[in-house]
Structures are given as C-alpha cells and as structure tokens.
Amino acid sequence: MWKSIKSVQLGLNEMALIYGTQPVSTSAFTQARANLSYTAFIELNKKSVVDVMYSDNKIKHYKNMRVLAVDGSKIALPKHPSTQQEFGVINYANQHSKIENDYCNGVASILYDVLNHIVIDSQLTHAKAYEGNLAIDHLNYTKEGDLLIFDRNYPSYIFISYLISKKLNFVIRCSKTSFKPARNILKGLGESDQQVVLTPHHKKTKEVKEKHLPEQLNVRFVRVKLKTGEYEVLITNLMNKKRFPQSAFKYIYYMRWGIEGLYDILKNRLNLENFIGKIENLFIKIFMLLFTLQV
C-alpha cells in the first residue's frame, strides 16, 4: 500500500513494477474499489490477524493480563455531501481574525493491545459522538481479567461501573475536575494512595438503577509523579498493594502511549486524513490502513 500523498496512478505503476504485471488506469482502479465493502476488512482483521495472533502462546502480558488501551481522535474528512450527512459538520471560528468555516469531521475510536500491537476493534462515527460511549462498545471485544488503560476523557461513575460489571481491570487518568478524592490528592490533601468507596451523583442514581449497575464502587486513587515534576492521579481497581504498589502505576500508565504511537503512524506516516472519494471509499481506506499495519 502506497502513501496517499502520491498520485493514484503513480502508486498503481509502482505496484505493477513490483509484481511484474501490466499497469492499470486510475479509472479502472476506482471502479474496482467501488465494488469493495469496508466490512470485508473488518472480517479480515479478525480472522487473519486478531484470531491468529491470540492463538500464539508467545503473546505478551503484564502480570498475566492483556494490556489494552482505548483512545479516540478527531479525523478530518472530505467535505462531500455523503460524508457530511453521515458524520455531521463542526463549525470552527478563529477569534483573532473572526474567520468561520464548517469542517467535516468524524470521531475514531480504537481498542489496541499495546504490548502485541494488535488493533482489536475500531470505529469511525459522528463528529459529536461521546468517546465514553464508543469505549463501552469496545468492551464487547474484551475478556474477563484484561487490563484497560484510559486517558482523562473517560472517568465517570457510569463508565467505571461498566468496567467493573464485566470484571475488567482498569487504570484511568483523572482530570482536575474529576472525582473529589482525585481533586483533593492533586491539591496535596490526604494520602497519595487511598482506597475509596464511590457512590453515584444523585442525578445519576436513576440511570444506575435502570442499567442494573452497582450502586457503590470500591476503587483506589494513586498519585504518580511525572518526569516534569507534575503529579497525576489515577483511578484503578487494582487493589492489591503488594502486587501493584504505588510505584508500579507510573509504568502501567506509560504503556498507554502505544496507542498514541498508532495514531501518529495512521495520521502522519500513512496520511489517514488525505482522502479522495465518497464515504464508502473513506471507510475502505481506514480499515485497509489498520489491516496493513498488522500483517
């Protein structure tokens, strides 16, 4: 697969030279691509990559757990009626020059095995989709005992309830507006490693009951010091302090950066956002890129 900054015809000519075949025209390539369905690449990824990789006894684990990271990212899409209808439009304004424009964007979300470099599940959806809801959908591809790592966009009582209900382990970075214990620890109040019983906000109690989620959660808040001297607070259900001492969490959270590297490859090296064509071709390109990364 060639980088999309090249012309299609140049890429086709190079492929013909590599395989010793007659080159085809851009028109023929475009017509053939129109007959492809992006769902074929989803099935290919599952059958020929994910299932095969996990059948190998050499899969890497951390303390007998798969380490999975979830993250979302805005994806710039072509301003075509089909993509605008599917993904919506976001208005951006420059406050200094007062320039406004509408841009078509989607939200990508990926479930990624950071130790084995496997894209387990990926989604591309509406620009205004909530990343927490997309992450809940990813949980269908996890298994009991997995360790999931998230950035600070994800922690909420509802989301953590889903993780615990599925018997998943997790480490999530807390924002400065997150749970009260996290805010206090960031201010230097209380112990830097403490176990807490959380209850839902009164506005969320009804939703918790309707979804049959636990009405209290036993969690642990851990403060870690970064190289910059700044502190971060992580929320986790890894409660065993002997197996998971406070000093271990800096490394555990660091493993999440594997998914940042994945997005960097997709966006900057493979030019994910350089699209040509309509919505079906858009999906095909994304899933081809994810599939190509792993084979």
For the segment 132-137, the average pLDDT, to the nearest whole number, is: 94
pLDDT band at 237 (very low <50, low <70, confident <90, very high): very high
The pLDDT value given to residue 294: 54
The pLDDT value given to residue 127: 83
Count other C-beta atoms under 10 Å from residue 164's C-beta: 17
What digits encode the pLDDT tens for the residues 35-71?
Answer: 666 666 667 777 767 888 888 778 999 999 999 999 9
What digits encode the pLDDT tens for the residues 10-35?
Answer: 777 777 787 778 888 877 766 666 66
Q: Greater confidence, 208 or 96?
A: 208
Which among 161, 169, 166, 167 has a CA at the least distance from the CA of 69? Answer: 169
**Mean pLDDT (the chain, rounded):** 83
For the segment 130-144, the average pLDDT, to the nearest whole number, is: 94
For the segment 101-120, the average pLDDT, to the nearest whole number, is: 87
Strand partners, 234: 173, 222
Give pTM, 2 decimals: 0.79
**Read out DSSP for the chain?**
---TTS-HHHHHHHHHHHHT-----HHHHHHHHHT--THHHHHHHIIIIIHHHHTSTT---BTTB-EEEEEEEEEE----HHHHHHH-EEEEEETTTTEEEEEEEEEEEEEEETTTTEEEEEEEEETT--HHHHHHHHGGG--TT-EEEE-TT---HHHHHHHHHTT-EEEEEPPTTS-HHHHHHHTT-S-SEEEEEE---TTTHHHHHHTT--SSEEEEEEEEE-TTS-EEEEEES---TTTS-GGGHHHHHHTTHHHHHHHHIIIIIS-TT---S-HHHHHHHHHHHHHHHH-
The pLDDT value given to residue 74: 86
Say what percent of the chain tops pLDDT 70: 79
Q: Is it the case that residue 153 has pLDDT exceeding 90? A: no
What digits encode the pLDDT tens for the residues 253-294?
Answer: 999 999 998 888 877 776 666 655 555 455 545 555 554 455
Instruction: Tell me how far apart the alpha carbons of residues 79 and 66 are, in angstroms, rounded to a whole number.
Output: 39
The pLDDT value given to residue 278: 55
The pLDDT value given to residue 213: 92
Least confident among 15-24, 122-131, 170-179, 221-230: 15-24
Contact (CB, 8 A) for 230 and 127: no
pLDDT band at 95 (very low <50, low <70, confident <90, very high): low
Q: Is it the case that residue 295 has pLDDT exceeding 50? A: no
